[in-house]
Amino acid sequence: MNGLTTKSQAALRSIMIVVMLSMLSACSLFGGSAATKEEPGAVEPAAKVERFTGEKSREIDFVYTARKELSLTFNGMGDKQTMQALLNELDTYNIKATFFLPGMRVAEEPDIAKEILARGHEIENNTLNALDLSKLDYDGVYKEIRLANDVIQRETGVQPKYVRTRSGDYPEDVPLAAAHLGMKAVVSYNINPKDRNMQSAQELGEYIARYMSRGGIISLNTDINPEVVGSVKYIAEAAGDIGYSLVTLDELVNNGGVRKPLEQIPGYDAAKINPDYKNSKYELVYKADTNRKEVALTFDDFGSDKTVTKILDILEEHDVKATFFLRAKGVESNPNLARAMVEGGHDVANHSYSHPVVTTLTPEALQEDVVKAHQVITEAIQEQPVMLFRPPTGVVDDIRAKALAATGYPVIAMYDVTTLDWDVSNSADDIVHGVMTKTEPGSVILLHMLDDIHTIEALPRVLEGLKAKGYTFVKMADLIQEQE
């Protein structure tokens, strides 16, 4: 190959490897038919790979974990200059990433793949040719994945554990083929800024910052938008601002867990639809009847990782346990954040699924919403939540209260201290002043965990101010129990 350019050598090397793999598998990777036995030099056709009938592999779009970590992943393999710049940028911010590489690109430029590994990153399978696997039969899907594994193994010494298709979408044959090949999982993502639209580095980074979550899997492409290189800076800054680490996919998976199905969690059916509600007994609790200087700090609704994690960090710093009333529709899209509350020693409770004003619903519709919320929260935290219900906006009437009680929520958790902190026009000073002037022994304090309000600024001052007055903080269920 002495007379060939580097590019020509790479192309020739790629063709030689593909021909070799084609012979090993007795299949045509170029779409033609295998030679018959009668043809000179023919290859014995291999038996068609039969569809796997065992249990399919795990499918991962995010990892269930309360740990402050997520994974940055890349698809494809850009040119040498782009990949070198990307690796240098990752080094600058001490980020270890996961690269899903197409087998053909590894065959063409194995030195890039080896450099990725040398920098401490992880290499996984992006299929052989990054084809649309929905257009292939099982035999074709299996071989696209297996041959990519073979190339990566041959060129780098690494055996991929995970596979991702080019788009992240895949037919049902992919998890079966991955299991057939003994792979750990099929991976998609839950954070995708769509860099195909040629957004700027800052736009990419800001999108990822907005959706950054514990256990999240970020997906970017190395061969479409060169702005991906510059976005690493913004991603690193966003993670650092929340206190999250960016780790390889395998580390994220190994540190995480697998959620049990809802029906296997004790207490999943503690809330049930019950049409016989007209004589149900309920209790509205606004505060505890006590002379002890104990108060319950409660938070309503749901927010982004950035907001909720900062609240959790402030509470941990001040050694305060709170009760979180969760809007379950938000929990459904980010169960890890709800689990983080539980692992922080806090209580979580029911604040409805869709956050309706309960008096606008029929009792039957209210029961459906509350039971759905109970199930979503239970599945997210993998245990039964505290059986307290707080109505959105604090509005409830007798018939809806009876309907709530009949589902399994007889204690309706109200509050006596509110500062309307959900209104962005109320400053941190307004919030602090409201809490400090209204709080009494046994008070239940209502705050919110919404984005872009001033609660986070006010919270440390609230905690310090009430402690200075001799107050201690208990969870609302404990405050109620102590007065009984």
- What are the boundaries of each domain within the chain? 1-47, 58-255, 263-483
pTM of the model: 0.89
pLDDT at residue 198, rounded to an integer: 75
pLDDT at residue 27, rounded to an integer: 42
Count CB-CB contacts under 10 A for residue 268: 18
pLDDT at residue 162, rounded to an integer: 98
Residue 5 Ramachandran class (φ > 0 left, ψ -120 to 50 alpha, else beta): beta
Contact partners, residue 366, CB within 8 Å, separation at least 6: 356, 358, 400, 403, 404
Q: Is 219 exposed, middle or buried (0-12, 13-18, 19+ CB in 10 A)?
A: buried
Task: Specify whether the CB–CB gap between 76 and 130 falls below 8 A.
Answer: yes
58-255 matches 263-483 in fold: yes
pLDDT at residue 437, rounded to an integer: 97
Count CB-CB contacts under 10 A for residue 55: 9
pLDDT at residue 28, rounded to an integer: 38
What architecture does CATH give domain 263-483? Alpha-Beta Barrel (3.20)
Query: 292 - beta bridge partners?
Result: none
Task: Output the six-digit token pair for 45.
Answer: 């056709």
Query: 162 - beta bridge partners?
Result: 185
CATH 3.30.450.40: does it fit domain 58-255? no
How far, in Å, CA of 178 to CA of 188, rounded? 14
Contact partners, residue 274, CB within 8 Å, separation at least 6: 280, 367, 406, 407, 408
Sequential pLDDT tens for the chain (484 residues): 444 445 445 555 555 555 555 554 544 343 333 444 444 444 455 678 999 999 999 999 999 999 999 999 999 999 999 999 999 999 999 999 999 999 999 999 999 999 999 999 999 999 999 889 999 999 999 999 999 999 999 999 999 999 999 999 999 999 999 999 999 999 999 999 988 887 899 999 999 999 999 999 999 999 999 999 999 999 999 999 999 999 999 999 999 999 999 999 999 999 999 999 999 999 999 999 999 999 999 999 999 999 999 999 999 999 999 999 999 999 999 999 999 999 999 999 999 999 999 999 999 999 999 999 999 999 999 999 999 999 999 999 999 999 999 999 999 999 999 999 999 999 999 999 999 999 999 999 999 999 999 999 999 999 999 999 999 999 999 999 977 5
Virtual CA dihedral for 334, 340, 343, 345, nearest 10 degrees?
Answer: -110
